[in-house]
């Protein structure tokens, strides 16, 4: 009996110490700025790289209502949502309590997170966790979204974000991968 308790404790501790991270991501394929129509979104490409390199589980925030495939039309819908602080619904869910480290990969939409990400944030407590943002954009950079995370989750640790333009992710997968490698080394210390 004593042996069984010790063994269970060891398994529990190993599970806690070596729990996989989570890659939480939001990404849109279809027509995008500077890249034409793409089959897989830019954040999705890097999210998969991170998961492959870290052994992380993945959860994609997929809006219930798809955005227009046309870039300009999508921008119009997204701007209207931002202006009214919309909180669009998404499909499925993930139990974040299992994860201490969460990579959060997303595009910048109108110098902010896509509004559906706020729907997720406002219904999940990421306090006390290590949050590692990966941002894809076309000129706006991180746009303060790392600070927003720190504001939303006051007791989280937000690590230095990596930002890569969608155009560069599409153009040079090798270079993207080496930037991701160098950044992972830094943020996983």
Ligand X SMILES: Cc1cc2nc3c(=O)[nH]c(=O)nc-3n(C[C@H](O)[C@H](O)[C@H](O)COP(=O)(O)O)c2cc1C
Q: How far is the CB of 41 from ligand X (least distance, A)?
A: 3
Pick the stretch among 15-23, 72-80, 91-99, 153-161 that binds ligand X (CB under 6 A): 72-80
User: CA–CA separation, 143 vs 126, rounded Å?
Assistant: 20
Going through the chain in order, the beta strands assigned E by DSSP cover: 22-25, 30-32, 36-38, 57-60, 101-107, 130-137, 157-158, 162-165
Q: Is 109 in the site for ligand X (CB under 6 A)?
A: yes
Number of chain residues interacting with ligand X (CB under 6 A): 22
Our finding on whether 168 is near ligand X (CB under 6 A) is no
Q: Does 63 bind ligand X (CB under 6 A)?
A: no
Cα separation, 103 vs 96, in Å, equals 12
Smallest gap from residue 133 Cβ to ligand X (A): 13
Helix (H, G, I), strand (E, B) or coil at 78: helix
Instruction: Taking the CA atoms of 57, 63, 69 and 74 in sequence, report the sign of the dihedral they define.
Output: negative
Q: Is 139 among the residues that bind ligand X (CB under 6 A)?
A: yes
Binding region for ligand X (CB under 6 A) = 27-28, 32-33, 41-44, 74-75, 78, 107-111, 136-140, 166
């Amino acid at each position: 009996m004593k042996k069984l308790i010790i063994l269970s404790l060891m398994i529990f501790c190993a599970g806690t110490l070596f729990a996989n991270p989570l890659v939480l991501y939001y990404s849109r394929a279809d027509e995008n700025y500077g890249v034409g129509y793409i089959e897989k979104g830019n954040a999705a490409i890097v999210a998969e790289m991170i998961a492959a390199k870290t052994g992380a589980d993945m959860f994609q925030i997929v809006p219930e209502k798809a955005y227009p495939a046309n870039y300009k039309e999508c921008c119009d819908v997204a701007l209207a949502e931002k202006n009214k602080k919309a909180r669009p619904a998404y499909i499925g869910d993930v139990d974040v309590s299992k994860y201490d480290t969460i990579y959060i990969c997303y595009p910048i939409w109108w110098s902010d997170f896509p509004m559906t990400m706020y729907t997720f944030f406002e219904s999940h407590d990421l306090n006390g966790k290590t949050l590692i943002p990966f941002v894809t954009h076309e000129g706006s950079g991180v746009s303060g979204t790392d600070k927003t995370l720190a504001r939303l989750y006051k007791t989280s640790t937000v690590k230095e974000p990596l930002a890569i333009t969608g155009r560069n992710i599409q153009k040079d997968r090798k270079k993207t991968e080496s930037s991701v490698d160098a950044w992972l080394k830094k943020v996983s210390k």
